[in-house]
Amino acid sequence: MAWSTRELAERAGTTVNTIRHYHRLGLLEQPETEYNGYKQYEVHHLVSLLRIRRLADLGVPLSEIHAVRAGADSTPQTLRALDAELEETIRRAERARADIAAILRDEVPADTPAGFEAVAGRLSETDTSILHIYTQLYDKTALADIQRIAEDVDDVSADLDQLPADADEATREQLVARLAVSLARNLRDYPWLNDPASHLARRPAVSSQTMIEALQELYNPAQLDVLGRAHIAARELVQPDAKTVTDAPHDADG
């Protein structure tokens, strides 16, 4: 009893095109053909095909299946590499499931940055855009702090987001004062913000250029003015704390 290509594919749970592909790669032996040109597959072809499919299902690259089937010395190494890839795939899948659960729980957009699901409903489109960029620029430690900062977002962020490009000086000054207090608190609570280079996931030059271009595109001139002045004011608010700490030993010696 012999089978056609279609019949072999049916018995192996695969397709005719897959069998032909295996022939082209030299993985599956070519069967004898009848006078009319039809291939005649036998049981050993089916077994061979099933062995190939088994290795393919394990994730063995087609280019390495021949060596693995032949019991090459590299087989254990190949399988260990596959196992490591599967482990990482499982970790990614578990993270994805946890993120999906958080998105469904908090009823937020599916493209919300990971870790910010709980606060996404209170963030503006600009805030979310900045957070997406942060996830590429900062390491895990910094992102954990940024998540905590986002949880404490207050009305000043909303007012900054709504500030028109032609806002008058009085409005800007008022917002600068309020924003400076919030930024100063973050600088005190998370000292690395004063010098974030050690927490960058990208080269400092790349990170700096990315943030500058992002801010220029995401904020209007008035918002950029307020942000710049508020950051300067925030550092001035924090500096007295640093001076007090620096002077303390001197006072004690005196």
- The C-alpha atoms of residue 226 and residue 164 are separated, in whole angstroms, by 11
| Nearest residue to 186 via CA among 147, 221, 215 | 147
Is the pLDDT higher at 250 or at 92?
A: 92
pLDDT in tens, 35-89: 777 889 999 999 999 999 999 999 999 999 999 998 889 999 999 999 999 999 9
3-state secondary structure 38-63: CEEECHHHHHHHHHHHHHHHHCCCHH
Q: What backbone phi and psi angles, to 5 degrees, belong to 247? A: -80, -20
> pTM here?
0.68
pLDDT tens, residue by residue, 8-33: 999 999 999 999 999 999 999 999 88
Q: Is 200 helix (H, G, I), strand (E, B) or coil?
A: strand
Locate tokens 């053909």: which residue? Answer: 33
Per residue in 83-141, pLDDT tens? 999 999 999 999 999 999 999 999 999 999 988 998 888 888 999 999 999 999 999 99
Using alpha carbons, select from 17, 83, 82, 9 the residue that is nearest to residue 49: 9
pLDDT in tens, 174-231: 999 999 999 999 999 999 999 999 999 989 999 999 999 999 999 999 999 999 999 9
